Chains A and B, each alone.
Chain A
Amino acid sequence: METITKNISRRNFIRYSGLSGAALTLGFYLPASGKNPGEELMSGSSAEAQGIDLNAWISIDTSGKVTITNHRAEMGQGSFQSVPQIIAEELEVNLDQVSIVFAQGNGKKYGSQITGGSSTIRGNYKKLLKLSATAREMLMEAAATQWGVPRAECYAENGLVIHKGSGRKLGYGDLALAASKLEVPKDVRLKSPGEYKVIRKPMARQDTPLKTNGAAIFGLDKKLPGMLYAVIERSPRFLGKVKSYDGAETMKVPGVKHVIKVNRDVFGNMFEGVAVVATNTWAAMQGRKVLKVEWDDAGFSYNSTEQLYTKMKEQVKGDIISFKTKGNFNTAFTKAEKKLEALYETPYESHSCMEPLNCIANVTTDACEVWGPIQGPDWIQQSLSNHLKLPMEKVAVNMTFLGGGFGRKAFTDYPYEAAMISREIKAPVQVVWTREDDTSMGPFRPGMVYQCKGSLSKDGRIAAFESRAAGQNMNQQNPNADKSGYNGSDTEGFLEPYFESIPHYSFGDAPLDSTVPVMWWRSVYASTNGFAFESFLDEMASEAGKDPLDFRRSHLGNPRYQELINKLEEVSGWKKRGKNEGYGVAITECFTSIVGEVVKVSKKPDGKVKIDKVWAVMDCGWYVNPDIIRAQVEGSIVMALGAATKHAIHFADGKAVEKNFNSYQMPRMTDIPEIDVHVMDNEEKAGGVGEPGLPPFTPALTNAIFDLTGKRIRVLPFVLEEV
């Protein structure tokens, strides 16, 4: 362990940990070098003695109140409930004794804080279990010492340590100070899932009451004294520059204080715009309406949807960069008797969180503080430290509740805008993106084209499979990026056992070069790959004359997958389906969770197709709260339904066409079928929950439409009423 000689007073420590009155504090210390982040568990008093600025994951004060510092965002996915539930289990406290606060951004202390990749629980649950079990052991040790009894005669329950023989009890609050002076034990025993009392229970979310009376503070609700509001007129063509602007009329609007040029950093590309800063949001919006800006688009390509897709369709037929292969696809495919191929298209999409992007920054001469709906506080801290040339510890990034995230709020561009404006006007400022900005300015989910090819053996099994993808690689947008590499996500969504059972396969891609900014969108490439893969598997099943569910089953030998398929078959009544009903299935894998979905469709009296019901089976391994999982899968299905049948971003003349919910149409109450979610019970490693329910829905839907009508849908989005 690194030795730090600097002495930090108790007062300072409390200030650092941000939790005054805390007696027992436990956290993970991330050494500067050597061990992996989060390996070293440490108590607050030990950290204090060594002058280490510990991340206080849990603190217990002298009244017995437990405070958890959540290092991840709460954007609806339920980390505010699932993290306390884990802690309450091993700490042996009731959930109502636990309160939770947002951590500031600090990658040095917490490791990655980016709430993405459905990683909050799967990436941290073992640490959280160990942390809370360790705290419990220390409290028990303190009680046993005080009573002068062996620790084995004590147990913990409901925030108390109890002596079995005498029935004596001590509350955690009375023990916290003594416990804090003990050495942190190593290798504490963790409960087996059979012993769980809190984990795996559908407990009500603790953030719900804040969201039913207006009390939850989202980014847009946060206010600072003297704060101004800014809206930005950004170049409607990506990478367009400000040639000149005239803010004279804008400055006449009551409340408008400043009109200034501002940049936006998107993966190292500088986008330009002009900010209008005012005393309230409306005044800033009014000032923007009369702002005159002349744009310089010289040298930039004028994207249009037609041009982008024409190019991608050429690319899938040309050379691709190989990502993953087995056997020899070309030879197997060429000599096969039964073969097929198909082209699939998926659109560009906007994240369109209900809370439009916004961020507050207060930049002073030697520090910067940021508040906002933020998925990646540590990344923003790093980014602002670089841009403002301030040391990391002078950049404080505070998370509010997020009104949706879906990947978009894991980016650094909108806090950057706020910081640049605040620095210039020397006042705290909130940058507000209008709905039009939020819909049309990107980064978007990249549009994709897939060419799938496959052949079947004589007994109707997959002999060869190929996926050739074309689309923008989100990792190749920096002007200095190496654009020769494959997209590491080329197989995202594909089930692992297929790599065993398919003798010849080939996955690769051709990156599309475009100035359209793109980024991760809920379930990332699995959201589009999954449509191509699972549609094509269905086409192969049909070609082989096999039942789509049996066809998949015969290629997925692994018992975990067999159990999921059996469950899906059982709950959906797959075998008992009626004559005039279309059933479709799709199974995908995403962030180490496997999800299978069955969609049932039928025809309305007027002959139009309607979705009757969706069954989903989620296997995310070890899990915390089944109700949150069900909610996440329900939401994923609705979001997929929107991208499949309601909305897409188009480009014309270099600009995004859709700007608000009148043209970028969302699914609404009447579009939603009955959704029935089941969660598998097993002891596999924890997988993601927030995203994996999304990819299988769309192919299950289009496969169901094929089952009902014989029509294959290969281009998204499509209009359900027009099938």
Chain B
Amino acid sequence: MASITLKINNKNYTVDADPKMPLLWAIRDLVGLTGTKYGCGISQCGACTVHLDGTPVRSCSLPVSTVGNKSITTIEGLSADNSHPVQQAWIQEQVPQCGYCQSGQIMAATALLKKMPNPTDKDIDAAMQGHICRCGTYPRIRKAIKTASVLMSQKASIK
């Protein structure tokens, strides 16, 4: 067991954890932020996706000891009031059904749009292929990413 400090959504949390514990379980069981989901434990489904210094990672397969002082962003850190354009787009296109995988989907889409503000269908395929949705919301996810892209460019032009 080791005392580990995690910087999550701009707040520091110190937890006593087995260094091998995946970041996912530290976030969920030790820190108590439950928006990040367990889906498969082997980086196959993407439900556990969080950002590490802005890059999407599978928290189920990342030992908590390797995070260091990198900044972690979870779905709760995107915005609590759903004001982020990707969240707005998800609501506008009525993407979620059960909603369980959507935290991971949204984190992946957010990272994609940061890198590529106007993604093509192929870009969306590549970024989202690692994410499973058993409810089958894929067509709406694709649509929402395009909507988010428009919302973000509108926001940028207002600025």
Q: Name A's B-contacting residues (CB within 8 A).
A: 75-78, 204-205, 207-218, 220-221, 223, 229, 254-255, 280-283, 286, 352-356, 401-406, 432, 434-435, 627, 631-632, 634-639, 660-662, 666-670, 672, 674-675
Q: A212-B91, A214-B35 are in contact. Are A354 and B134 (CB under 8 A)?
A: yes
Q: Is the CB of B97 within 8 A of A77?
A: yes
- Expressed in whole angstroms, the Cα–Cα distance for A238 and B15 within the complex equals 40
- Min distance, Cβ B86 to any Cβ of chain A, angstroms: 8
Q: Does B125 contact A (CB under 8 A)?
A: yes
The CA of A123 and the CA of B129, in the complex, are separated in Å by 38
Instruction: Specify which chain B residues have a CB less than 8 angstroms from the CB of A356 in the assembled complex.
Output: 38-39
B66 touches A (CB below 8 Å):
no
The answer to whether B134 and A639 have CB atoms under 8 Å apart is: yes
Per-residue interface assignment for chain B, residues 35 to 64, with 1 indicating a CB less than 8 Å from any chain A CB and 0 otherwise: 111111110110100000000000000000
Q: Would A638 and B100 count as touching, CB distance under 8 A?
A: no
The listed residue (B1, B32, B96, B134) touching A211 by CB distance below 8 A is B96
Given contacts A282-B18, A635-B97, A354 and B82 within 8 Å (CB-CB): no
Contact of A280 among B25, B95, B99, B138 (CB under 8 A): B25
**Pick the contact of B99 from A207, A282, A636 — CB < 8 Å?**
A207
Q: Say whether A76 contacts B30, CB under 8 Å.
A: no
Contact A254 B1, beta carbon cutoff 8 Å? yes
Q: Is the CB of A404 within 8 A of B135?
A: yes
Which B residues are CB-close (under 8 A) to A355? 37, 39, 98, 100
B94 in contact with A217 (CB, 8 Å): no
Whether A217 lies near B135 (C-beta < 8 A) is no
Chain B, residues 110-145, CB within 8 Å of chain A (1/0): the string is 000000000000001100111111111111111000
Q: B54: shortest Cβ distance to chain A, in Å?
A: 18
Is B134's CB under 8 angstroms from A220's CB? no
Which residues on B sit within 8 Å (CB–CB) of A675?
A: 139
Q: Pick the contact of B18 from A209, A254, A668 — CB < 8 Å?
A: A254
Q: Do the beta carbons of A214 and B42 come within 8 Å of each other? A: no
When distances are taken between beta carbons in the complex, the residues of chain A under 8 Å from B34 are 214, 217-218, 220-221, 223
**In the complex with contacts A282-B21, A639-B134, A669-B128, A631-B100 CB distance below 8 A:** no
A212 touches B82 (CB 8 A): yes
Residues of B within 8 Å of A280, CB to CB, are 21, 25, 29-30
Which A residues touch B106, using CB under 8 A? 212
Q: Which chain A positions have C-beta within 8 A of B81?
A: 213
In residues 77-116 of chain B, which contact A (Cβ within 8 Å)? Answer: 78-82, 87, 90-91, 94-103, 106
Identity of the chain A residue whose Cβ is nearest the Cβ of B132 in the assembled complex:
A666
- Cβ of B37 and Cβ of A220 under 8 Å apart? yes
Give Cα distance in the complex from A632 to B97, angstroms.
8
From the candidates A354, A632, A635, A637, name the one contacting B45 in the complex (CB within 8 A): A354
Asked if B28 CB lies within 8 Å of chain A CBs, one says yes
Beyond contacts A212-B90, A281-B38, A354-B134: 13 other A-B pairs, Cβ-Cβ < 8 A, are: A76-B97, A208-B90, A212-B99, A213-B79, A214-B103, A218-B34, A220-B38, A254-B18, A355-B37, A403-B98, A634-B136, A668-B128, A669-B141
Known: A208-B90, A661-B45. A213 touches B78 (CB 8 A): yes
Residue interface bits B15-33, CB-to-A below 8 A is 1, else 0? 0001001100100111011
Q: List 5 A-B contacts (CB under 8 A).
A: A212-B106, A220-B38, A221-B34, A354-B39, A660-B42
Cβ of B149 under 8 Å from chain A: no
Are B37 and A672 in contact, CB atoms less than 8 angstroms apart?
Answer: no
Determine if B75 is an interface residue (Cβ-Cβ < 8 Å).
Answer: yes
With A and B bound together, what is the CA distance between A672 and B121 in angstroms?
Answer: 12
Q: Is the CB of B18 within 8 A of A283?
A: yes
What residues of chain A lie closer than 8 Å to B91, measured between beta carbons? 204, 208-209, 212
A177 to chain B, nearest CB (A): 35
B111 to chain A, nearest CB (A): 15
B contact residues around A668 at 8 Å (CB): 128-132, 138
A660 to chain B: closest CB distance in Å? 6
Q: Closest residue of chain A to B87, judged by CB?
A: A212
Whether A353 lies near B131 (C-beta < 8 A) is no
B100 touches A660 (CB 8 A): no
Is A213 touching B99 in the complex (CB atoms < 8 A)? no
Q: Separation in Å of the A429 CB from the closest CB of chain B?
A: 13
Give complex CA distance A223, B18 in Å: 21
Which residue of chain A has the shortest Cβ distance to B76 in the bound complex? A214
B40 touches A660 (CB 8 A): yes
A91 to B84, CA, bound (A): 34
Residues A669 and B35 in contact, CB atoms below 8 Å apart: no
B40 in complex: contacting residue of A405, A406, A435, A634, CB < 8 Å:
A435
Given contacts A354-B39, A661-B132, contact A213 B87 (CB under 8 A): yes
Given the known interface contacts A208-B96, A217-B34, A631-B140, the answer about A281 and B40 at a Cβ–Cβ threshold of 8 Å is no
The smallest beta-carbon distance between B119 and chain A, in angstroms, is 12
Q: B25 touches which one: A281, A632, A635, A666 (CB < 8 A)?
A: A281
Q: Are B36 and A662 neighbours in the complex by a CB distance under 8 Å?
A: no
Q: Within 8 Å CB of B130, what residues of A?
A: 668
B21: nearest chain-A partner, CB-CB: A282
Instruction: Tell me the bound Cα distance from A208 to B97 in angstroms.
Output: 8
Q: Which residue of A lies closest to B124 (CB)?
A: A669
A434 and chain B: residue at smallest CB distance: B41
Q: How far is the CA of A662 from the CA of B40 in the complex (A)?
A: 9
Q: Can you name the residue of chain A whose Cβ is closest to the Cβ of B106?
A: A212
Please indicate the chain A residues that have their CB under 8 angstroms from the CB of B98 in the complex: 75-76, 353-355, 401-405
Expressed in whole angstroms, the minimum distance between the Cβ of A654 and any Cβ of chain B is 24
CA distance A8 to B36 in the complex (A): 44
Kindly list chain A residues whose C-beta atoms are within 8 Å of the C-beta of B129. 668-670
Q: Report the nearest A residue to B97, measured CB to CB.
A: A76
